Amino acid sequence: MAVDVRWATTEEATALAVMLCEVAVHYQQPPLDADRALSAAQKWLGQESPAYPHFALAFVDGEVCGLASVAIAHPGIDLERLLFLKDLFVRENARNAGIGRALIGFLAGHCLREGIGRIDLTTEDWNEGALRFYDGLGAERHGQKIFLRLSGETLKAIATKS
């Protein structure tokens, strides 16, 4: 099975929207409205800089089957940038077929070509499949950071005090 991984362009907005809807279901979020997801995908892909793409999509036989959502951060260790992997998602019917590995390989190749020193990521402590996957890749677990979030009313309150 050949996996085609590429940075998403505006032409792949529909494929990205499909994946966004499936990610929401997987993470037990309220289902996304397909039109709203498509609108968001079109907007995001239209705003992306070619230097810093944010969505990689994996296709098998022309059908989208995986998504990686990333951000590039400055500076990393020794003034090298880092790639933060926000989400790696493979459709349920395509899991354990090398799609996730193909996405990570694509991102690793991008990092090497662009002088990006590392890939950082998080996963939920309950997501045993993801933990096994990343352990199998040789990912190092780092316990020296605590994941924090500012959102909702807290975010509004902070913004109004600035």
Output the pLDDT for position 112.
92
Cα atoms in the Cβ-side hemisphere of radius 13 Å centred on 57: 23
Q: Show the domain range for 13.
A: 4-160
CATH number at residue 87: 3.40.630.30
Average pLDDT over residues 6-23: 95
pLDDT tens-digit readout, 35-55: 999 999 999 998 866 556 699
Structural domains in the chain (count): 1
Unique residue bearing structure tokens 């020193």 = 117
Contact 21/27 with Cβ under 8 angstroms?
A: no
Contact 141/105 with Cβ under 8 angstroms?
A: no
Average pLDDT over residues 12-38: 94
CA-based torsion, 85, 91, 94, 96: positive or negative: positive
Output the pLDDT for position 20.
96
